[in-house]
Amino acid sequence: MSVIYDRVALIGLGLIASSMYWAMKRDGLAGEVTGYARSEDTRNTAREIGLCDRVCDSIAEAVEGADLVVLCVPVGAMGAVAAEMAPHLKPGATVSDVGSVKVNVIETVGPHLPEGVHFVPAHPLAGTEHSGPRSGFPELFANRWLLIVPVEGSDRDAVDRLRSLWEAMGSNVAEMDAEHHDLVVAVTSHAPHLIAYTMVGVADDLRRVTDSEVIKYSAGGFRDFTRIAASDPTMWRDVFLTNKDATLEILGRFTEELFALQRAIRQGDGEHLHAYFTRTRAIRRGIIEAGQDTDAPDFGRAGGRKK
């Protein structure tokens, strides 16, 4: 494949940034990739494993001359990072991000960017429970969705160029407006993560079931909850604080459904339960048919599949 950007700067060097780097290098999509992380330990690790062509010790150095700057920091930090890097951005550069909340990121990042710099927010629907610079791998985005969320006045050429990068890294790409994006991910990601955290917390609090029993006798359902609940706590704290309205709306609906199921169990209403489980089972089949998971035992996670 040919070079899409001569120079890309990755700000924040965790799972997504490291996977982007390895995917870009695998296919020759960027001439040079610079990287910056606030933590000196992270920068040293990145240098040690060869993550980025050049790891910089300041944001200013990392973004200098970059054609594309990608913010890969927790959403709560993006505004401050944007303010710090703004004076050093090259005219005509594109600034994007990988945050899982879009309304808040647009509100906090956009005002800091100088005229002549193109802002094209984005969100890869890909990840694992692992974090840090060592966690990335180039196949992370293969057949996963990348949502581009253009802002008012987004330059069409800049949007199309970013789309071509993500498609070259293996993603399926769609465009969506910010409010709708935040509601969609509240359903598909944010609320399920909160429910997983809650269920693991319940197991921890229920003293009649010991920790050793929870660990030793974990069935597939609880095991999947713990995998989700092992995700980066800083990132998820920021997600819930910045996508508050959409998440609370979905949790309200979830609570109503849960009460209805509690009532059906209490009243022995097997017909209600069977009909509900039949309807929800169809969603699982749809996900498999869309190629977003596998019907293999253990949901395809057995046998050394990369996580």
180-268: in CATH 2.60.40.420: no
Q: Catalogue the long-range contacts made by 112-115 (C-beta closer than 8 Å, 24 or more residues apart).
A: 112/79, 112/82, 112/83, 112/86, 113/82, 113/86, 113/89, 114/86, 114/87, 114/89
How far apart CA 266 and CA 181 sit, in angstroms, is 37
For the stretch 115-169, pLDDT in tens is 999 999 999 998 777 889 999 999 999 999 999 999 988 899 999 999 999 999 9
How open is the CA angle 17-224-74, to the nearest 5 degrees?
30
Least confident span in 15-19, 168-172, 213-217? 213-217
How far apart CA 210 and CA 228 sit, in angstroms, is 21
Structure tokens at 149: 């969320």
* 3-state DSSP assignment of residue 32: strand
DSSP 259: H
Do strands 122-124 and 145-148 pair parallel, antiparallel, or not at all (unpaired)? antiparallel
Say yes or no to pLDDT of 303 above 60: no
How far apart CA 118 and CA 135 sit, in angstroms, is 30
Within 154-199, strands assigned E span 172-175
Say yes or no to pLDDT of 298 above 50: yes
CB within 8 Å of 40: residues ≥ 6 apart? none
Ranges of CATH 1.10.3660.10 domains, the chain: 180-268
For the stretch 74-84, pLDDT in tens is 999 999 999 99
DSSP 209: S
Structure tokens at 185: 């991910």
- pLDDT at residue 297, as a whole number: 56
For the stretch 30-58, pLDDT in tens is 999 999 999 999 999 999 999 999 999 99
CB within 8 Å of 167: residues ≥ 6 apart? 173
Within 134-232, strands assigned E span 145-148, 172-175
DSSP 290: T
Q: Amino acid identity, residue 42?
A: T
The percent of residues above 90 in pLDDT, for the chain, comes to 72
Ranges of CATH 3.40.50.720 domains, the chain: 5-176
Asked if 23 and 45 count as a contact pair (C-beta separation under 8 A), the reply is no
For the stretch 195-251, pLDDT in tens is 988 988 888 777 677 777 877 777 667 888 888 888 888 888 999 999 999 999 999
Identify which of 6-15, 124-133, 183-192, 212-221 has the greatest average pLDDT.
Answer: 6-15
- pLDDT at residue 131, as a whole number: 84
Structure tokens at 46: 């990145």
Spatial strand order in the sheet of 172-175: 122-124, 145-148, 172-175
Helix axes 191-205, 220-229, angle to 10 degrees: 110
For the stretch 92-101, pLDDT in tens is 999 999 999 9
For the stretch 258-291, pLDDT in tens is 999 999 999 999 999 999 999 988 888 888 888 8
* Superfamily holding 5-176: NAD(P)-binding Rossmann-like Domain (3.40.50.720)
How far apart CA 150 and CA 255 sit, in angstroms, is 33
Q: What is the maximum span of the chain, computed from C-alpha positions, in angstroms?
A: 67
Residue the block writes with tokens 């985005």: 141
